[in-house]
Structures are given as structure tokens and as C-alpha cells.
Amino acid sequence: MQPLANDMTGDTETSFSAEELAAGDKLFLRPWRFVKGVVGIEHLPAADRPEVAFAGRSNVGKSSLINALVRQHGLARTSNTPGRTQELNVFEPEPGLVDCYLFDLPGYGFAKAPKAKVDQWTGLVKDYLRGRPNLSRVFLLIDSRHGLKDIDREIMSMLDTSAVTYQVVLTKGDKLNAHKLKAVCEATTAVLAKHPAAFPTVLVTSAEKGQGIPELRATVAQLAGVEVLKQA
Ligand code: GDP
């Protein structure tokens, strides 16, 4: 499969056809709904359909990105309350087009997180990664202003070990100028080359300005198996 990429300056230049972008649009034009919040893997829904997951440090812009994808303000709630229960939040499109799940993994990397909380996060996410043969890809969100941090690299190693394919999505692309965005893209791509389970290219997004959102929708639609209708 062709690596999916968009131009680092914000002028989108992708390997997606108009039809593939249309399939992404279609999937996310449907209303999406919250299925459940899962605190232990015994409560996971059956692994009977394709799914993708979104992971990232708290405050990376994960809820904003999910809400931008589904065009629904407030579907994914911000997870940056340190005391909040760590849950895997599951979403699905309303029935009709294709059955799939979108998982919002709890944010990691609180500066002052107690060890017990970090262990709980690791246990829950490791169990999840181990138990989902239908998990097509993890989108690993990285704040474009900060690039990859040590904690992100630890997560990448965990994903490598679990042999789950993951793709880095840079968030808040609107906060950097084209030159800086290009530099962070190149630095991130160089690191990804050393990780066996990593998708080789990064996707630059901005939930605020919409950059990269059609490409991300098309990627999810592709992974979910949405039929691409060829134009006559
Ligand atoms: P989460 O903790 O990862 O779910 O992060 P949130 O979605 O709650 O976002 C954290 C902060 O970053 C909020 O203040 C958002 O308004 C801001 N933010 C998120 N996405 C963007 C973006 O694309 N551009 C800009 N400028 N700010 C963003």
C-alpha cells in the first residue's frame, strides 16, 4: 500500500484519489455515537469488525481531532482531568454504511501522575493491544510544537512489541509556520524509520483549521473497509 502523506506546508498533496476522499467524507458524514467507556478488557465489545484507535499524551488535541473527524462538537470529551477514571472510549457510526469502531485511548504522560496510575494505564492499554486482532491501526498523536517526547517513544516501543501498526499524526499544525512544521515532520519521519511497526509517513493535521482531516477520514474509511465508488 502507498504511504499516505500530506504536504508539510499545509497544501495537501496526497496519494488519495478523489473517490477515496469521498469515501472518508461519507463515513464521517454519518452521525457517530458513543458506545461505551471500558475500564477493563472484559467489558470490550466483541472484536467482530474493523477498528482503529487514537492514542496520545494528554492535551495533545485528541478529543479535538476526533470531534473534527466526526464533525460533532463534544462527542469525545477532553481527557485532561488528572483524577478522571482511565477508560477506553468506544465510538461507532450509526448503522448503514459500514460497521467499525473508533477507540479513544486514555491520554498518557501527566507530569505528576502517580506510579499506580501509570501502571493502570499501561496494563489497560497493553491488554487492549494484545486482545484485538481486528485493530487495524493506532493513530499516535504528537503535538507538532513538541515533536516526539521520551514518553511517546516508550509508547512506540510498546506498539512495536505488540506488533500493532501505528501511524503518527501531528496535531495543532496551525500553530507552527511551514518551515518549523517541515523540520518536525522530517525529524519524526527519521525516527519512524527505526520502528518496525510504524507507518513510514506522518499525517499533519489541525483540528482548528481542518488541515489533514479529509486525509485522516479517508484513511479510517480505507481501514474500515468503506467501499470506494469509482466515478464514471
Ligand atoms: P486532549 O487532552 O488530547 O483530548 O486534548 P484537547 O482536544 O482537549 O486539546 C487540548 C488543547 O489544545 C485545547 O485547549 C484545544 O483547544 C487545543 N487544540 C486542540 N487541537 C488544536 C488545533 O488543531 N489547533 C490549535 N491551535 N489548538 C488545538
- The pLDDT assigned to 81 comes to 55
For ligand 1, whether the C-beta of 89 sits within 6 Å is no
For ligand 1, whether the C-beta of 206 sits within 6 Å is yes
β-partners of residue 135 are 51
What's the pLDDT tens digit per position in 109-120? 877 778 888 888
Indicate which residue's Cα is closest to atom 24 of ligand 1: 172
**Residue with more model confidence, 131 or 101:** 101
Helix H or strand E encompassing 24: helix 18-29
64 Cα to the center of ligand 1, angstroms: 6
Mean pLDDT of 149-178: 95
Least confident of 39-43, 66-70, 76-80, 182-186: 76-80
Number of H helices, E strands in the chain: 6, 7
Cell 502523506 appears where? Answer: 5
What's the pLDDT tens digit per position in 57-116? 999 999 999 999 999 988 987 555 555 668 999 999 999 889 999 999 999 987 777 888
- Give yes or no for residue 141 having a pLDDT over 90: yes
Contact 142, 174 (CB under 8 A): no
From the CA of 79, give the closest atom in ligand 1.
2
- The pLDDT assigned to 13 comes to 44
Compute the distance between CA of residue 176 and CA of residue 186 in angstroms, rounded to an integer: 14
Contact 134, 51 (CB under 8 A): yes
pTM score, whole prediction: 0.92
Compute the distance between CA of residue 81 and CA of residue 144 in angstroms, rounded to an integer: 22
Tell me the three state secondary structure of residue 42: helix
For ligand 1, whether the C-beta of 171 sits within 6 Å is yes
Indicate which residue's Cα is closest to atom 9 of ligand 1: 61
Compute the distance between CA of residue 81 and CA of residue 175 in angstroms, rounded to an integer: 23
Helix H or strand E encompassing 38: strand 32-38
Question: How much is the mean pLDDT over the chain?
Answer: 89
